[in-house]
A = this chain, B = another copy of it.
Amino acid sequence: MKLETPPGTRDFLPEEMVKRQEAVDRIRATFERYGFSPVETPAFEYAELLEGKYGEDEKLIYKFEDLGGRKLALRYDLTVPLVRIVAMNQLPTPFKRYCISRVWRFDRPQKGRYREFWQCDVDIVGVKSMSADAEIIACAMDALDGIGLKDAKFKLNSRKVLDEIMIKLGVPKEKELAVFRGLDKLDKQGEKAVREELEKAGVKNIDKIFDVLKIDNIGGLKKLIGESEGVKELEELMGLLKTYDKKVVLDLSMVRGLDYYTGPIFEAELGSYGSIAGGGRYDTLIGRIAEKGDVPAVGISLGIERIIEVMREKGLLSERKTCTSVYVLCADEESKEVTLQVVKKLREAGINTDFDLLGRNFSNQMKYANNIGVAKVVIVGQKDLKEGKVTVKDMKSGEQKQVNTNKITESI
């Protein structure tokens, strides 16, 4: 029998899981502070719900047939299930939900790319105005702040503005996609390669396009295309973000992959690590499947897998190896019962506490305590107990002190 996980999937042992859980819990706390509530949906959907939503990436949908012959697919992202929920239910408007959960893609597994991975989304459904976009961006920025990624640069653009620019520059509708796809590769392939690609695609006015992309302020945009709807939205959004004390930069070269965006789009870039979050407005996606027609919506997805790798490289992940903070060592056979009493007391005080279950000798207990990475050990032995005391040792500093057995909780 193959003792392994299927390709592109992973086990998370405690040492890894504790770190992930701490990061996720902190993000979740920020989402909740911003008035978002959790939603969960099944791991799989009817395949037809997912089809036709992901453009080129459609081939990555993890389809399968269940034992009853149903054509199903494992969730590709958290957005389409949200859209289904909104289509199926009468929900309070606005509907503010977050979801931190697994998705699956039938991709070729490689470094940093998995068939099963976690996504981390916040969305607001039912608000047409830019106040929702501002709330989403501010929330995402605070969520990144909350895990120590304070230097992320938030880039802002708009699908509407891009369309308006294409019209202004005389790029015909059927060439637009080629231009956007080219721009999407600008970061990775550089201007020269993208210029060549656009030429090959028969796009004209390429110099002008690249000139326009350098515009980085609303004033410049207005000069080019006037007070258009897209520009007004961006102006309003940037104004709102100022009242949140959040700084974003206009970057007309940032187009995002998914073809369902209809308004502002945004991306968080962290230096050489590249994009760690991205989202935008999708006002027509719900209408595509809901009888009630279009419902405005905007959301962002934090690239949680990437973010955890960045946190690891920057030393921002928890140093804990397990959830256990304190290990209570039993120095001699006679102290066994008191050891358990001390353990009970610490646990009742809400302290994550463990102790020996194997009847190991003192040095092996200490080895294990080291191994699971506790912050402190408590040593219970007859010598101390005769004075009504136990010894508390800080594992980092090595410092030791004797404390009264009945003061043990306070001393930790």
Contacts and interface: CB of A to CB of B under 8 A. Distances in A.
Interface in A131-149: 131-132, 135, 142
Interface string A11-45: 11110011001000000010011111111111111
Interface stretch (A89-97, A154-162, A173-181): A89-97
A355 B96 CA distance: 11
A43 B4 contact: no
A11 B37 contact: no
A243 B33 contact: no
B6 A44 contact: yes
A340 interface: yes
A324 interface: yes
Interface in A58-84: 62-68, 70, 72, 74, 81, 84
Contacts of A124: 357
For A7, A35, A135, A289, the residue with the greatest tally of chain B CB atoms inside 10 Å of its CB is: A35
Given A5-B41, A46-B2, A106-B66, A36 B131 contact: no
B45 A354 contact: no
A395 to B, nearest CB: 15
Contact of A42 (B5, B33, B42, B368): B5
A39 B64 contact: no
Interface stretch (A206-214, A268-276, A344-352): A344-352
A91 B13 contact: yes
A231 B5 CA distance: 40
Contacts of A129: 357-359
A41 to B, nearest CB: 5
Contact of A37 (B43, B85, B324, B368): B324
Contacts of A46: 1-2, 4, 6
A70 B323 contact: no
A40 B19 CA distance: 12
A375 interface: no
A65 B157 CA distance: 42
A88 interface: yes
A116 B43 contact: yes
Contacts of A357: 94, 124, 127, 129, 131-132, 135
A402 interface: no
B353 A92 contact: no
Interface in A333-365: 337, 340, 344, 347, 350-355, 357-359
Contacts of A63: 67
A347 to B, nearest CB: 5
Contact of A33 (B13, B18, B350): B350
A359 to B, nearest CB: 7
Interface in A301-348: 322-324, 337, 340, 344, 347
Contact of A3 (B17, B37, B87): B87
Contacts of A217: none
Contact of A39 (B11, B132, B371, B372): B11
A305 to B, nearest CB: 13
Nearest to A29: B350
27 contacts: A3-B49, A3-B87, A3-B88, A3-B290, A4-B88, A6-B46, A7-B70, A11-B39, A11-B41, A11-B81, A17-B40, A21-B38, A29-B350, A32-B323, A33-B351, A33-B352, A34-B347, A34-B353, A35-B354, A36-B323, A43-B43, A64-B65, A64-B67, A126-B358, A131-B359, A135-B357, A244-B340
Given A29-B350, A35-B324, 14 more contacts: A1-B48, A4-B88, A6-B46, A12-B41, A13-B39, A14-B97, A33-B347, A35-B352, A38-B323, A68-B106, A92-B371, A131-B357, A135-B357, A244-B344
